[in-house]
Amino acid sequence: MTTVKITGGGVLACRPGSSAVRRIPGTGTRSHYTTVAPGVKPERSHWRDEGLSLRHRLYGFDCPALDLDFILMEYDAGRPVALVEYKALGAPMPDSEHPSLVALRRLADSARIPCLMAFYSPVWSFSVYPLNDHARERFTSGEVLSELEYVTRLYELRGRELSADVACRLNQVTAKEGKP
């Protein structure tokens, strides 16, 4: 039997090679049972739903999941038109061949829609990195767009034209440092 101390107090016990986990009585007050399976990365940020994040890590190395920074599905009339992973300018550029981004790209490819990463700046300009061929048809890697230019492209993905009343509310400047 292996024991594991958990955040918030308490100790869990499990048999090596078993997924069964039990709380050792009198070792804490946490109401849900959590631990991290061997080979699974621990929670890093602690700002998302930590309980679910920790619980999913119990499922083991062969059941990976990804809590994306901020992914939006752009759509029009119930039809998906793009998957966009947004990141704040200055966040590290992830490896585009990481299994999590490969899975996101495959999802977009199966829907035949663009998949891209967009780093946004405090002045609302966007540095865009296409992740699949559908996105490369519309965006150049590292392209820095003003908010107006970026939103115009989002409208084009929908086959729509940006109205003047929306356009006049959008920023037309770009950040000097366009790369993450």
The DSSP result for 18-58, as a single string, is ---EEEPTTSB--SS-----TTPPPPSS--S-HHHHHHHHT
The dihedral sign for the CA sequence 128, 132, 135, 140: positive
Task: Please indicate, yes or no, whether residues 101 and 161 belong to a single structural domain of this protein.
Answer: yes
Among candidate residues 33, 71, 32, 68, the one with its CA nearest the CA of residue 48: 68
pLDDT band at 44 (very low <50, low <70, confident <90, very high): low
Task: Please indicate, yes or no, whether residues 135 and 163 belong to a single structural domain of this protein.
Answer: yes
* 83-129 pLDDT per residue, tens: 999 999 999 999 989 888 999 999 999 999 999 999 999 899 999 99
| Domain boundary residue, one of 14, 37, 63 | 63
| Structure token pair of residue 3 | 């024991």
Is the pLDDT assigned to residue 130 strictly greater than 80?
Answer: yes
| Structure token pair of residue 133 | 């061929």
Tell me if 120 is assigned to some domain.
yes
- pLDDT (0 to 100) of residue 27: 45
Among candidate residues 101, 44, 35, 99, the one with its CA nearest the CA of residue 68: 101
Tell me if 80 is assigned to some domain.
yes
Among candidate residues 119, 7, 116, the one with its CA nearest the CA of residue 57: 7
| Domain boundary residue, one of 22, 42, 63 | 63
Tell me if 34 is assigned to some domain.
yes
Task: Please indicate, yes or no, whether residues 51 and 78 belong to a single structural domain of this protein.
Answer: no
* 50-78 pLDDT per residue, tens: 677 777 788 888 888 876 668 899 999 99
Tell me if 161 is assigned to some domain.
yes
Tell me if 50 is assigned to some domain.
yes
Task: Please indicate, yes or no, whether residues 78 and 161 belong to a single structural domain of this protein.
Answer: yes
Tell me if 11 is assigned to some domain.
yes
Task: Please indicate, yes or no, whether residues 17 and 79 belong to a single structural domain of this protein.
Answer: no
pTM over 0.85: no
Tell me if 176 is assigned to some domain.
no
Give residue 45's domain range. Answer: 1-63
Tell me if 179 is assigned to some domain.
no
Q: How many CB atoms lie within 10 A of CB 114?
A: 24
Q: Collapse the DSSP code of 136 into the 3-class scheme (helix H, G, I; strand E, B; otherwise coil) and give the result.
A: helix
* 139-179 pLDDT per residue, tens: 999 999 999 999 999 999 999 999 998 998 898 988 765 45
Task: Please indicate, yes or no, whether residues 29 and 106 belong to a single structural domain of this protein.
Answer: no
Rounded to an integer, the average pLDDT of 1-29 is 48
